[in-house]
Amino acid sequence: MTLTRSTLAALGLVFLAACNSAAPDRAASGPVLPPLDVTQSRQEARQLFGAEDQGSTGTPEAYGGYARGCVAGAEQLAETGPTWQAMRLSRNRNWALPVTLDYVRDLSREVARTTSWNGIYVGDMSQPRGGPMLTGHRSHQSGLDIDIWMRPATNLNLSVTERENLSSISMRRANGAYVNDAWTADHWRVMRAAASDPRVARIFVFPGAKVWMCDNETGDRSYLRNIRPWWGHHYHFHVRLSCPAGMAGCEDQAVPPPGDGCAEAREWVQNILNPPPPDPNAPPPQPRRELTLGDLPRQCAALLSP
């Protein structure tokens, strides 16, 4: 089957719908929260959450979905650890749920133990209280998303200035159909370790990297199901964790389809190399509407500073 441009667009809408559906307004063990007034509900959420520079107090809790949610009680990843460094500190996006911080520490130790890398460079996670960001991501809102740089972390003593100016390295060739000469077996080992953790819901990476792993894996292939092709994601790969047990307000994305997903990735590659013709019946693209506070779960408004 060849994917048309309209089919690809539909896949994108399905992806956003899975990420964006709001969680119930009922707290995990509390009453239904009162509705917002009209003025509150129309406020642009990214401006409100982008202005918060510290996490909220209270029990860590994710509310809503990855692309329509927020996080209470988030903790900040240490700027530097034995096997990681947080990058682009000026963005203040190294906040997440405790389970996410544990995952970063565990993965970085495994990478340092099993590859030539000394650890990992950690890109964007979430804002202090999650929610929509002023720039960049549509997801990363509930404290369960992590960007891991493709640049091997050989130096874990970078200064703050160096972390602002150093760039990651693109791994793609032919618009993402193939990996380039910068790709190594250690990139594969890092992603395999990342995807093999039971806390992981899925990992997004450019199609050529997924196909390379499909073609070269000769052992256990079960982790490949968690690695999904997506646009971009050639300077970093995006780890998405499942909702922790007991967080009633947190909304998971649908699980990946059965199987290793390799046929789907190869189809993406073929559509990069031989783009399908435009669908003359496809509706024109609609401008993206920024989320308002009324689009988020009710608990999110309560997390904002007075």
Q: Which of 176, 303, 284 is nearest to 237 (CA)?
A: 176
Q: What mean pLDDT comes out for the span 39-44? A: 87
Q: What mean pLDDT comes out for the span 115-122? A: 98
What is the pTM for the complete model shown?
0.87
How many CA atoms are closer than 13 Å to the CA of 167, on its beta-carbon side? 5
Q: What mean pLDDT comes out for the span 52-72? A: 96
* pLDDT per residue as tens digits for the range 157-211: 999 999 999 999 999 999 999 999 999 999 999 999 999 999 999 999 999 999 9
Cα(171)–Cα(178) distance, integer angstroms:
9
The answer on pLDDT for 15 being more than 90 is no
Tokens of 216: 């070269």
The residue count for the chain: 306
Distances (CA, A) of 145 to 71, 206, 223, 276: 12, 17, 18, 32
The answer on pLDDT for 40 being more than 90 is no
How many CA atoms are closer than 13 Å to the CA of 92, on its beta-carbon side? 14
The answer on pLDDT for 11 being more than 60 is no
| Percent of all residues in the chain with a pLDDT value above 90, rounded to a whole number | 79
Tokens of 7: 């089919």
Question: Could you tell me the pLDDT band of residue 32, with boundaries at 50, 70 and 90?
Answer: low
Cα(126)–Cα(92) distance, integer angstroms:
8
* pLDDT per residue as tens digits for the range 138-162: 899 999 999 999 999 999 999 999 9
* pLDDT per residue as tens digits for the range 92-103: 999 999 999 999
| pLDDT value at residue 10 | 41
Backbone phi and psi for residue 278, each to the nearest 5 degrees, phi listed first: -60, 145
Helices (H), 24-132: 38-41, 45-50, 98-114
| pLDDT value at residue 9 | 41
Q: For the chain, give the mean pLDDT.
A: 90
Cβ(103)–Cβ(239) under 8 Å? yes
At 109 the three-state DSSP class reads helix
Find the Cα–Cα–Cα–Cα dihedral 163, 66, 204, 9, rounded to 10°.
Answer: -120
